[in-house]
Amino acid sequence: MRDTTQELERWLHAGGKLAGQISIACADDGWELRHTDDAERGDLAAFSKWEDARSLANFDDAGSFRPLKTAPNLRHGWRLVLRDAHSVRLALDYFYPAMLGVWLAHSRGELVPVEFHETLGRQTGMYRITQKLTHEQAQRLIAKQCPSNGGCLKTILWQISKGIPVSLLPPEKFRADATPADALPLLCHEACNILVAAARKMVKEETPAP
């Protein structure tokens, strides 16, 4: 935990200023976080506790729950001023859960991506049916669920199966090194449960009845 805060602090002092849809700036009394679209706004609601990030992250502008925190639908209209990097780290864990740790593991060369079909192969119970997902279905599914414009901001590090990359999304979607130096990489090293649930729905809908 201490390492994560130290690495975050180092990154901030080196000019890091973006995490997903959040811009982070040095303020008189610590660090200020706000939506990147709100850079020029002077009418933002003020928050000052890292715990406030939880409610800010949970609902979009329409008040709907955000099951996927890396979806590009972070709500607008707030500024969160935090006194130190430790508080920024805790807040970022609400906004983008686990992303700091994943980034650090990746930068140390310790992050091991898991192929999509390996993830599906581990499913049990009502999700075991996802093991019937074909490669063609997987391509369509990922193209629908994961695109950065409307789906998810993460960079995908995994393949569908060994030697079978995702082919229906732009190349930048798979390049961690395409993240600007002042932005915190949001990395997907294993398919999330939302994609697995969508795989189940696709298999059920597209498998002919016996």
Beta carbon nearer to ligand SF4, 8 or 99: 99
Q: How far is the CA of 186 from the CAs of 22, 79, 125, in angstroms?
A: 12, 21, 30
Say which residues have a Cβ less than 8 Å from residue 4's Cβ, sequence separation at least 6.
Answer: 89, 100, 101, 104
Per-residue contact flags (x/-) with ligand SF4 for residues 46 to 85, judged by CB under 6 A: ----------------------x-x---------------
Query: Length of the chain in residues, anyone?
Result: 210
Q: Closest separation between CB of residue 189 and ligand SF4, Å?
A: 9
Rg (CA), the chain: 19
Q: Binding ligand SF4 by CB under 6 A: which of 154, 157, 185, 200?
A: 154
**Site residues for ligand SF4, window 156-195 (CB under 6 A)?**
156, 188, 191-192, 194-195
Per-residue contact flags (x/-) with ligand SF4 for residues 86 to 125, judged by CB under 6 A: ----------------------------------------
Beta carbon nearer to ligand SF4, 35 or 154: 154
Beta carbon nearer to ligand SF4, 6 or 97: 97
Q: Where are the alpha helices (DSSP H) in the chain?
A: 2-13, 52-58, 85-95, 99-107, 116-121, 135-145, 193-206
Least Cα distance to 195 among 118, 130, 98, 99 occurs for: 130
Beta carbon nearer to ligand SF4, 6 or 193: 193
| 145 lines the binding site for ligand SF4 (CB under 6 A) | yes
Q: State how far the Cα of 74 lies from the Cα of 97, in Å rounded to an integer.
A: 14
152 within 8 A of 142, measured Cβ to Cβ = no
Q: State how far the Cα of 150 lies from the Cα of 101, in Å rounded to an integer.
A: 25
Task: Candidates 12-20, 27-35, 124-132, 146-154: pick the segment binding ligand SF4 (CB under 6 A).
Answer: 146-154
Instruction: Provide the binding-site residues for ligand SF4, judged by CB under 6 A.
Output: 68, 70, 145-146, 151-152, 154, 156, 188, 191-192, 194-195
